[in-house]
């Protein structure tokens, strides 16, 4: 009879958030498959646990899968954990769960902390529906393209993660893409210096004075800009905005999409205005 794979959620900051059930299963498991054995070792040491660990992450998943499957098929129980939060949500784990399902090995999820969901419930935004992403692309141009694609395709609340050394640049890119769409930047959740910054991308970027720690960004539902009492934007104004954005590094398509959203126009109309005024400089 095969053992069980326990998919165990671990604290995202505050060690008191580990559930009693998770603690028991980490103690009773024959082996813990951990994203980083050193970080998991600190958690185990805090609770006085001596369960053996084996590294399991994106770079060694292919070679580790047969090892873990063999132990599970031999009847041993294995606990799967990541550095923090719930395995499989922007963290390693899906491959092992998928393999267990394919081989008829029981999978038992042990619920607990998850940074995207913790951030979402603190945002105050509507959460039905909600879309959860991992990290945006690390390269600047790919990240800008990703932001535009997500903003265009997801009108409801969505969540993504960001590294501390990129969060300022991502917010700067988001200023043109999200416009007045509200967001919350969550830093160091459940820890001593927990922080929630709320506002538009521009407002949060201005308020962000500390870039250490873990960042989770929650973007609220799309908000149409109210231009009912304003004069319609002119082709000359579109030209100026387009030149400013492309000179700042935005691609043509991203700039056109952002301008269209900002002024409630179709991308086709913005493109026509840009083409009509392209010889003006």
241 and 202 share one domain: no
Q: Report if residue 137 sits inside a domain.
A: yes
What pLDDT is recorded for position 203?
A: 94
Contact 15, 46 (CB under 8 A): yes
Q: Report if residue 228 sits inside a domain.
A: no
Reply yes or no on whether the pLDDT at 265 is more than 80: yes
Contact 254, 148 (CB under 8 A): yes
- The CATH number of whichever domain residue 187 belongs to comes to 3.30.950.10
Reply yes or no on whether the pLDDT at 224 is more than 70: no
Q: What is the mean pLDDT of residues 135-143?
A: 93
What pLDDT is recorded for position 201?
A: 94
107 and 18 share one domain: yes
- Predicted model pTM: 0.78
- Give the whole-angstrom CA distance, residue 79 versus residue 110: 10
Taking only the tens place, the pLDDT of each residue in 6-54 is 999 999 999 999 999 999 999 999 999 999 999 999 999 999 999 999 9
Q: What is the mean pLDDT of residues 222-228?
A: 65
Q: What is the mean pLDDT of residues 158-164?
A: 96
For residue 258, say if its preceding peptide bond is cis, omega within 30 degrees of 0.
Answer: no
Tokens of 65: 């899968």
The full DSSP string for 178-246 is HTT--EEEEESTTSTT-EEEEE-HHHHHHH-----S-EEEEE--------TTSPPPPHHHHHHHHHHHH
Structural domain total, the chain: 3
- If one compares 129 and 280, the residue with the highest pLDDT of the two is 129
Q: Report if residue 154 sits inside a domain.
A: yes
- The CATH number of whichever domain residue 36 belongs to comes to 3.40.1010.10
State the chain's mean pLDDT as an integer. Answer: 91
Q: Within 13 A of 233's CA, how many CA atoms are on the CB side? A: 22
- Among the candidates 219, 245, 261, a domain finishes at 219
Reply yes or no on whether the pLDDT at 272 is more than 80: yes
- Among the candidates 79, 113, 147, a domain finishes at 113
Contact 167, 135 (CB under 8 A): no
Range of the domain at 207: 116-219
Q: Report if residue 87 sits inside a domain.
A: yes
Based on its alpha-carbon atoms, the radius of gyration of the chain, rounded to whole angstroms, reads: 23
Q: What is the mean pLDDT of residues 149-178?
A: 94
Q: Report if residue 128 sits inside a domain.
A: yes
What pLDDT is recorded for position 46?
A: 96
Reply yes or no on whether the pLDDT at 159 is more than 90: yes
Handedness of CA 187, 193, 198, 200 (dihedral sign): negative
Q: What is the mean pLDDT of residues 193-205?
A: 94
Reply yes or no on whether the pLDDT at 228 is more than 60: no
193 and 258 share one domain: no
140 and 91 share one domain: no
- Give the whole-angstrom CA distance, residue 222 versus residue 124: 14
- Give the whole-angstrom CA distance, residue 137 versus residue 123: 24
CA 271 to mean position of chain CA atoms: 32
Q: Report if residue 58 sits inside a domain.
A: yes
Contact 11, 40 (CB under 8 A): no
Reply yes or no on whether the pLDDT at 244 is more than 80: no
| DSSP structure class, residue 7 | E
Q: What is the mean pLDDT of residues 163-177?
A: 94
261 and 188 share one domain: no
The full DSSP string for 26-93 is HHH-SEEEES-HHHHHHHHHHTT----EEE--TTTHHHHHHHHHHHHHTT--EEEE-SSB-TTSSSTT
What pLDDT is recorded for position 87?
A: 94
- Give the whole-angstrom CA distance, residue 8 versus residue 108: 9
Reply yes or no on whether the pLDDT at 229 is more than 60: no
């Amino acid at each position: 009879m095969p053992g069980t794979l326990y998919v165990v959620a671990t604290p995202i900051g505050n060690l008191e958030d580990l559930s009693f059930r998770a603690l028991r299963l980490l103690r009773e498991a024959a082996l813990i498959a951990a994203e980083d054995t050193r970080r998991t070792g600190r958690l185990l040491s805090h609770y006085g646990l001596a369960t053996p660990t084996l590294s399991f992450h994106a770079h060694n998943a292919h070679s580790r899968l047969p090892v873990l499957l063999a132990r599970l098929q031999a009847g041993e129980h294995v606990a799967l954990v990541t550095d923090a939060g719930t395995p499989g949500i922007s963290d390693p784990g899906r491959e092992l769960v998928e393999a267990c399902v394919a081989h008829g090995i029981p999978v038992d999820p042990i619920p607990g902390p998850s940074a995207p969901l913790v951030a979402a419930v603190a945002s105050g935004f509507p959460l039905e529906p909600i879309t959860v992403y991992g990290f945006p692309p690390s390269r600047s141009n790919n990240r800008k393209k990703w932001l535009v694609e997500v903003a265009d395709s997801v009108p409801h609340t969505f969540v993504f993660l960001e590294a501390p050394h990129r969060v300022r640049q991502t917010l700067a890119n988001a200023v043109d893409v999200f416009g007045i769409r509200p967001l919350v930047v969550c830093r160091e959740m459940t820890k001593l210096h927990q922080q929630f910054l709320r506002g538009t991308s521009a407002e949060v970027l201005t308020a962000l004075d500390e870039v250490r720690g873990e960042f989770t960004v929650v973007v609220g539902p799309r908000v149409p800009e109210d231009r009912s009492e304003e004069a319609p934007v002119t082709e000359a104004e579109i030209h100026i905005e387009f030149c400013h954005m492309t000179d700042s590094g935005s691609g043509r398509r991203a700039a056109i999409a952002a301008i269209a959203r900002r002024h409630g126009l179709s991308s086709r109309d913005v493109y026509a205005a840009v083409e009509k005024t392209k010889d003006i400089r």
